[in-house]
Amino acid sequence: ILPKYPGAEAIVEVKCSQALVDEILRLGGVPLFWKSGHSLIKAKMREIGAPFAGELSGHFFFADEYYGFDDSFYAAGRILRILSNTTSTLSELFAGVPRYFSTAEMRVDCPDATKFAVVERLRDKVLEEREAITVDGVRILYPEGWGLVRASNTQPVIVARCEGRTMAALESISDDVRRRMAAEGLPDFTWTY
């Protein structure tokens, strides 16, 4: 899709892997991080006229040759079209996509009345010392990965997820994120890798 739209923005949910960001850049697109949530992604896509958007959940939205919403059958059809125009297997096509290590998405209890303020305090402290993406919570940027802390829009929880280029990087990042969350009074938890 992106080679047809040089320089086009592709919407990336803030929870998505750096692998998606890297692939968008490789194909000449501009990744635009956006808030988690099906309706939020779809609305932003329409607003900026993006040809493509993706969510961690596996929802992929197509405006190129389609109506701008997610459709698993249509996505499968697009993959079949790509495969019909190459001698490569699907595994071979994905072989060049970087592989990262990540935690599962963790949900830490936090009352609805305070969850957004907790994330704002954590965000403000992070921004004093390092770069971060602040579209939906705070995606803390590290040299070898990132850690996300955001308030859920639907539950009384704080959502956290981390990713690293290596397992050692992931462990270091996830330890730092957990420490930062504990400093804001959130209950301790154990990451699931």
Contact 135, 34 (CB under 8 A): yes
At residue 18, the pLDDT reads 94
Contacts of 100 (CB under 8 A, 6+ apart): 17, 18, 19, 145, 163, 164, 165
SS3 label, residue 10 = strand
Q: Which residues of the chain carry a pLDDT beneath 50? A: none
pLDDT of residue 61: 87
Whole-structure pTM value: 0.88
Residue 85 and residue 190: Cα distance in Å, rounded?
45
Interatomic CA distance for residues 71 and 56, integer angstroms: 15
> Pairing state of beta strands 101-102 and 157-164?
antiparallel
Tokens of 113: 């009345």
Sign, Cα dihedral of 31, 32, 38, 43: negative
pLDDT at position 97 is 85
The pLDDT value given to residue 47 = 95
**What's the token pair of residue 193?**
């890798």
- Angle, in degrees to the nearest 10, between helices 112-127 and 167-183: 120
Burial pattern 77-112, b for ≥16 Cβ within 10 A else e, equals ebeeeeeeeeeeeeeeeeeeeeebbbbeebebebee
Task: List, in order of start, the domains of the chain with CATH numbers.
Answer: 2-94 (3.40.120.10), 101-183 (3.30.310.50)
Report how far apart the first and last C-alpha atoms of the chain are (Å, whole number).
32
Burial group, residue 179, by CB count within 10 angstroms (0-12, 13-18, 19+): exposed
